[in-house]
Structure 1
């Protein structure tokens, strides 16, 4: 069942990258959207196999939590 989920994530990510690549005019925008989509797909696959892995909100809190405390 996880194999089907992994394939679904990869097919969806590939479709998004393909459509964005064809309709985006700037080279930098093409690479950024492909990079963000690839990283998101990788995080989705990792979370599929290890649900205890911290999500994106935990990473943002780790990065910017100290800045928030320093500003108070």
Structure 2
């Protein structure tokens, strides 16, 4: 079941990268879009195995929560 999900994520990421690569003329934009797509695919695969990982808002609160307390 997870193997099918992983293959699905990878196929969608590859299709997105191919479509963005063909539609963009600038090399820097191609690299940035490919990098963001790869990072999103890796995060998706990690979340398949560890669904209880904290979300982005919880991580920001953890990192900047102490700064907020210091500024008060």
TM-score category of the 2 structures, normalised to the smaller one: 0.7 to 0.9
Q: Closer, same or farther in 2 for the Cα pair 1:23/1:66, shift >3 Å?
A: farther
- TM-score with structure 1 setting the length: 0.81
Structure 2: where are the runs of 5+ without partners? none
Structure 1 residue 59 displacement after superposition: 3.4
- TM-score with structure 2 setting the length: 0.81
Partner of 2:28: 28
Deviates more, 1:4-13 or 1:56-65: 56-65
Q: Closer, same or farther in 2 for the Cα pair 1:54/1:16, shift >3 Å?
A: same
Distance 2:2 2:41 in 1: 14
Structure 1 residue 57 displacement after superposition: 3.3
Structure 1: where are the runs of 5+ without partners? none
Structure 1 residue 65 displacement after superposition: 4.8
**Bigger-Rg structure (1/2):** 2
Does the residue aligned with 1:52 lie in a helix, a strand or coil?
A: coil
For each residue in 1:2-28, what CA deviation from the matched residue of structure 2 results, as whole angstroms up to 9, or x when unmatched? 100000000000000000001101100
How many residue pairs get matched? 71
Distance 1:20 1:65 in 2: 37
